[in-house]
Amino acid sequence: MPSAEDGVFLAGLVADLAGRFGTPVFTPHLTVRGDTDLPIAALEAGIAEAAATVPAFRETVTAIETSDTYFRSFYARFQISAPLAQLKQRLDSEMADSFMPHVSLLYGPVAPAPKAAAAAEFQRMLTGRAIIFDRLCLVRSGQNIAISEWAVIETAQLGKNGT
């Protein structure tokens, strides 16, 4: 998760785009591990262990990209840095080869031309901006759960033992 300050900034961008396009509002985040059937206790232990070994880190937005994928309709893209690679390896090693670190800013389908115009605007505003990531969260979410019902179950501060 982004730091509190960066989270507020990114949440404002999500709200702006949601207002423009009539799309859902959600908490901006960088997913390290997606949907899983692992027990909550195992996931809680996993984020605590991973957070204890990786300090908070700063990542630079490399680009604003769009796609037709619902949960990646419009997003800020990041390189796979050493901290991100380490977190991915610890929490979801089987998907490490396909990891594409990003923070979505808009969910859902929108008309291509206005989305492209917004992406160009956000490209100018965000490319090169650093975002601090300082914690891991276990979130009850998924494609079959309403976005309004997504909820943080557990939080682990990066670089610290425990929550």
What is the DSSP track for the chain? -B-HHHHHHHHHHHHHHHHHHT---------SS-S--S-HHHHHHHHHHHHHHS--EEEE--EEEE-SSGGGSEEEE----HHHHHHHHHHHGGGGGG---EEEEE-S---HHHHHHHHHHHHHHHTT-EEEE-EEEEEE--TTS-GGG-EEEEEEETTSS--
pLDDT reported for residue 151: 95
Residue 110 placed within a domain: yes
CATH of residue 100's domain is: 3.90.1140.10
pLDDT reported for residue 162: 44
Verdict on whether the full-model pTM lies above 0.85: yes
Domain enclosing residue 36, as ranges: 4-157
Counting the structural domains of the chain, the total is 1
Residue 163 placed within a domain: no
**In this predicted model, what pLDDT tens digit does every residue of 119-137 receive, in sequence order?**
999 999 999 999 999 999 9
